[in-house]
Amino acid sequence: MLYDEARIHIQAGDGGDGCVAFRREKYVPFGGPAGGDGGRGGDVVLYVDAHLNTLYRFSKQRRFRAAGGSHGRGKNQHGASGSTTRIPVPPGTVVYDDQTGDLLGDLTAAKAELVVAEGGRGGRGNARFASSTDQAPRVAEHGEPGEELWLRLELKLLADVGIVGLPNAGKSTLLAAVTAARPKIADYPFTTLQPNLGVVVLDDQTEFVLADIPGLIEGASEGKGLGHEFLRHIERTRVLIHLVDGLSADPLADLEVINRELATFGRGLAEKPQIVAVNKIDMPEVRRRWRGIETTLKRAGHSPLAVSALAREGARELLYRAAQLLAEMPEAAAAQQVPVFRLGEDEDAYSVEREADGWRVRGVRVERLATMTVWNLEESVRRLLRGLERLGITDALEEAGVEPGDTVRIGERELVWEE
C-alpha cells in the first residue's frame, strides 16, 4: 500500500521560565537582581530525506513534540534552549495547515527544510527589569508556549515521465519491461492499486524516473475508480506516455477519455507533452489493424508509436523519444517556499466579547502577556494591568459595560474586574 497522505500533530517546545533572584556577595552591599532568563523552546522542522518514498512512518507515529527550554537560575544563569525536533519526509511532500487548509511548504529539493512550528521564547528573569527607578524588581515571566497545530501531509511522486491510460492498457507491463520495478500484473482491470516508480537507464548519459499511474477511467476527476486519488501524482511529471490498448474497439475514444479527465482535473495536466503509444503490437490482430489505427490517430493530431510492452518491441524508440522531450524542456522550477503562518497579522489587535458568564478578550499580544505573567508575583500582575491599559483594553471593557465582580478571560487566565 502506498502511504501518500498523513495527518500529524506537532508541538514546539515551551520557553523556560525566568527567575527572580538577588546577588548575595560579601562585599557587595544591596546586591542586585540576578535572575536569569529561561531558554527558548525547540522548533519542529520537516526535512527531505531522499531515502524515503512514502509517508508510512506517520501511520505508526502521529504526534511529535520538541523539547522545552530550561528555566533561568540565580547568578544570571540563563536556561538552555530546547533541542529541535527534526522529522524526515520523502521528496515531493506538500505541507498544509489541517485546520485552515493554508499551504505551508512544498518540499521537493534535496536537503530542503521547513520550520512548521516555532518554539516559545524564554521568559525574562528579574535582572532584565532593573532600571534607575526600580533597582530591585521582583518580576519575571513564564516562558512563551510553543506553537501547536495539526498538519496534513500529501505526497506527490517525483517522476520525470508518467504512464497514463485506461485500465489493462499494459502500463505495469511496460514499466516492468524497461525498469527493475516489479508491479503486480494480471489480465483484469485495476490490477495496480498504487503508483509504481522505476528508473530507466538507456545509456551512460540518459536516464530518467518512470511512473505508472493507475486507476484512470471516465469520471476519474470526479472521484470515480481510483484516479481521483492518484491524479495528483501526475502533477510533477514533465512528460506523459499515453498508452492505448491496441485491442480496443475504438483507441481514439479511449485516448480522448483520459485526456478529458486530465483537462477536467486541471493543474496543467492537459498541457503536458504526450507521446501516444499503441500497445500489444505483437498480437496478430493488432498488427493487422495498425495502419487503420495509425491513420485515425494522425487525423486527430497525434503521432502514435506501435509498441509491445510484453515483447519489448518498440520500447527503446518510445523511451528515447521521451528522453528527447525531457532534454528539450526547461528545467523544472524550484518549488516556492511558502512562509509559514500568517505574516502581517496585527499582534496588537484585540477584541472584547460578551459571554454568558463574563467577558472574553482575544488578541495575540494580550494573550501572550497573560500567559507569561507570573501570578504569584505582585509586580508581575501589576505589569500585566499596565499592559492592558497601554493596549486600550481597560477602556474597551469599560465602554462595553463591564461591572465590578465580572469575570474577564484572557486565553486560559481568568481575572475579576474591580474598580
115 and 246, same domain (yes or no): no
Taking only the tens place, the pLDDT of each residue in 84-116 is 999 999 888 889 999 988 888 888 888 889 999
Convert the pLDDT of each residue in 204-228 to its tens digit: 777 777 878 775 544 444 444 444 4
Residues 6+ apart with CB under 8 A from 59: 3, 6
Mean pLDDT calculated for residue range 413-418: 89
Q: What are 131's three cell numbers? A: 532600571
Q: What is the pLDDT of residues 21-40, one digit of tens each?
A: 998 777 766 678 999 999 99
One domain for residues 169 and 140: no
Q: How far apart are CA 408 and CA 396, in angstroms?
A: 12
pLDDT the model gives residue 20: 93
Residues 2 and 105 in one domain: yes
Give the model's pLDDT for residue 2: 54
Q: Are 54 and 168 found together in one domain? A: no
Could you tell me if residue 343 is inside a domain?
no
Q: Which of 407, 368, 358, 412 is nearest to 388 (CA)?
A: 368
Burial 161-178 (b: 16+ CB within 10 A, else e): bbbbbbbbbbbbbbbbbb
Element containing residue 315 per DSSP (H, E): helix 315-328
Let me know if residue 342 belongs to a domain. no
Give the pairing of strands 407-410 and 103-107: unpaired
21 and 75 share a domain? Answer: yes
- 223 and 137 part of one domain: no
- Boundary residue ending a domain (112, 136, 155): 155
Q: Is residue 126 part of a domain?
A: yes
Asked, for residue 150, whether it belongs to a domain, the answer is yes
CATH number of the domain to which 107 belongs: 2.70.210.12
Structural domain range at position 48:
1-155
CB 87 within 8 A of CB 33: no
Are 307 and 252 found together in one domain?
Answer: yes
Domain with 372 in it: what CATH number?
3.30.300.350
H-helix segments, 179-239 = 227-230
Q: Does some domain include residue 13?
A: yes
Q: How many domains does the chain have?
A: 3
Whole-prediction pTM: 0.69
DSSP SS3 for 227 = helix
Please give the pLDDT value at position 331.
63
Q: What is the mean pLDDT of residues 405-417?
A: 90
* DSSP-assigned states of every residue in 241-281: EEEEETTSS-HHHHHHHHHHHHHHH-TTGGGS-EEEEEE-T
Which residues are CB-contacts of 275 (< 8 A; sequence separation ≥ 6)? 239, 240, 241, 242, 305, 318, 321, 322, 325
